[in-house]
Amino acid sequence: MSQRLIELLLEALWETLAMVGVSTVLATLIGVPLGILLLVTQPGHILSRPTFNRIAGAVVNATRSTPFIILMVAIIPLTRMLVGTSIGTAAATVPLVIAAAPFVARLVESSLREVDSGLVEAAQAMGASPLQIIVKVLVPEALPGIAAGLTITVVSLIGYSAMAGAVGGGGLGDLGIRYGYQRFQGEVMLAVVAVLIVLVQLVQSLGDYAARRLNKRERSQANR
């Protein structure tokens, strides 16, 4: 592989890391509160709002059911309005966030659902407000599951960012398509695949480590 292609590979890797990093942060900021609301607004929960819950759930499900490549094309007008262009790394971040935020929300909701309902009832009996229950009971108890869910989200975003290359999104996917596929340079395609595999393995390992550290039960067993 030539020096030029190595430089292109490093540039594409940086673009992918930028896309995934920004998308993860924004999707987390949107998805975590949304996931909490999806749980606590269910009928009979601490902030029961059935109508809001049904509408929010329908929007989340509709977004999640849309294939990413179709979503990218469908929201091109929104992307242009937000970032001024429909191609490039910045433009690819918009559909990445929109695709990932509902995914994060459902994973957070699922993690919170695993929290023992007795803890919530005990907090209510002691006079805790809904906000206190969320901040001091639900979220701390669900942190290991939330960390695992965010790890899955980052891995998915890496795959989505590669797909974004098919429509000029930049990053490793774009490099693989332009050089590996269109110019029949097999070594470039292999290099892109290898970098993506290493990147996913690294993210998964770090995520698993974070989830173990956050799991109180595992930490207490490790200290014995």
- Write out pLDDT tens, residues 21-76: 999 999 999 999 999 999 999 998 889 999 999 999 999 999 988 888 889 889 98
pLDDT in the model for residue 222: 45
The residue written with tokens 């309902």 in the block is 117
Q: How many domains does the chain have?
A: 1
- Read off the amino acid at residue 58: A
DSSP output for the chain: --HHHHHHHHHHHHHHHHHHHHHHHHHHHHHHHHHHHHHHTSTTSTT--HHHHHHHHHHHHHHHTS-HHHHHHHTHHHHHHHHS-SSSHHHHHHHHHHHHHHHHHHHHHHHHHTS-HHHHHHHHHTT--HHHHIIIIIHHHHHHHHHHHHHHHHHHHHHHHHHHGGGT--HHHHHIIIIIITT--HHHHHHHHHHHHHHHHHHHHHHHHHHHHH-HHHHHHHH-
Reported as a single tens digit per residue, the pLDDT across 92-113 is 899 999 999 999 999 999 999 9
In a domain, 200, yes or no: yes
pLDDT in the model for residue 110: 93
pLDDT in the model for residue 200: 93
User: Residue 24 belongs to what domain range?
Assistant: 3-216
Q: Categorize the per-residue pLDDT at 188 as very low, low, confident or very high, splitting at 50, 70 and 90.
A: confident
Average pLDDT over residues 84-88: 83
pLDDT in the model for residue 201: 95
In a domain, 171, yes or no: yes
User: What CATH number is given to the structural domain containing 17?
Assistant: 1.10.3720.10
The residue written with tokens 């902030």 in the block is 47
Q: What is the pTM of this model?
A: 0.87
In a domain, 224, yes or no: no
Six token digits for residue 197 = 């595999």
pLDDT in the model for residue 216: 62
In a domain, 59, yes or no: yes
In a domain, 222, yes or no: no
In a domain, 75, yes or no: yes
In a domain, 221, yes or no: no
Cα 13 from Cα 95, distance rounded (Å):
19
Q: Categorize the per-residue pLDDT at 1 as very low, low, confident or very high, splitting at 50, 70 and 90.
A: low
> What's the chain's Rg over C-alpha atoms?
20
The residue written with tokens 């206190």 in the block is 132
In a domain, 34, yes or no: yes
Q: Categorize the per-residue pLDDT at 138 as very low, low, confident or very high, splitting at 50, 70 and 90.
A: very high
pLDDT in the model for residue 8: 84
